[in-house]
A and B are shown apart, each in its own frame.
Chain A
Amino acid sequence: EDQVTQSPEALRLQEGESSSLNCSYTVSGLRGLFWYRQDPGKGPEFLFTLYSAGEEKEKERLKATLTKKESFLHITAPKPEDSATYLCAVRSGTASKLTFGTGTRLQVTL
């Protein structure tokens, strides 16, 4: 059974204070690790897909990296508009379904 654990549960940063969110996973045959952003009362919004260890992807102030056991979402010089819950999910085997972690709730203050 696939398992995804995200840490920390919540993170409060000041504007400009860089940090990283962690996603640890256990799967048999990773076919993709996905990061989503979710704003309150809305559905998750796709950010990145990573497929193999060593892969990195960037979007504005966000950079996602992948190892064989975990993924990190690095946030560089965050702004208040980066405040959201960030979700990690994995796909394994031949199925299209994703298994999600419980998310990290990020708050960025002025």
Chain B
Amino acid sequence: DVKVTQSSRYLVKRTGEKVFLECVQDMDHENMFWYRQDPGLGLRLIYFSYDVKMKEKGDIPEGYSVSREKKERFSLILESASTNQTSMYLCASSVGGDYGYTFGSGTRLTVV
């Protein structure tokens, strides 16, 4: 089975901190994605990547950046965390084409 592993299940950070969320997949997938999930708003795409060192903005990239130095690892960076970034963050990967995603278990981030 494809596994997508997110390094933390729960995180609590202070306003203004720089936050790193890590995601690793073990099936050599080309595509990786970061979503956030909020009640009533569903999953919204933050950033995605089709290849190493390649990134594209999703629907809500403001306040975030990403890094993909290796094919298996896709990091989400909150440059200066704010309380409105409190959310569930979900990483996903896919082989591309018409295939669906495999999701990680999520990181619930609280910014205080």
Contact = CB atoms under 8 A, between A and B. Distances in A.
A43 B103 contact: yes
Interface residues of B, number: 28
Contact of B100 (A43, A49, A99, A103): A49
A99 B60 CA distance: 13
Interface string A81-99: 0000001010100001111
Interface of B: 4, 31, 33, 35, 40-45, 48, 50, 58, 90, 92, 94, 96-106, 108
Contacts of A36: 100, 103
Given A100-B43, A103-B42, A41 B106 contact: yes
Contacts of B96: 96
Interface residues of A, number: 23
Nearest to A9: B40
B107 to A, nearest CB: 10
Nearest to B35: A100
Given A34-B100, A91-B98, A102 B41 contact: yes
Contact of A100 (B4, B42, B48, B105): B42
A98 B40 contact: no
A12 B43 CA distance: 23
Given A42-B106, A46-B102, A96-B97, 5 more contacts: A49-B98, A97-B33, A97-B58, A98-B45, A100-B43
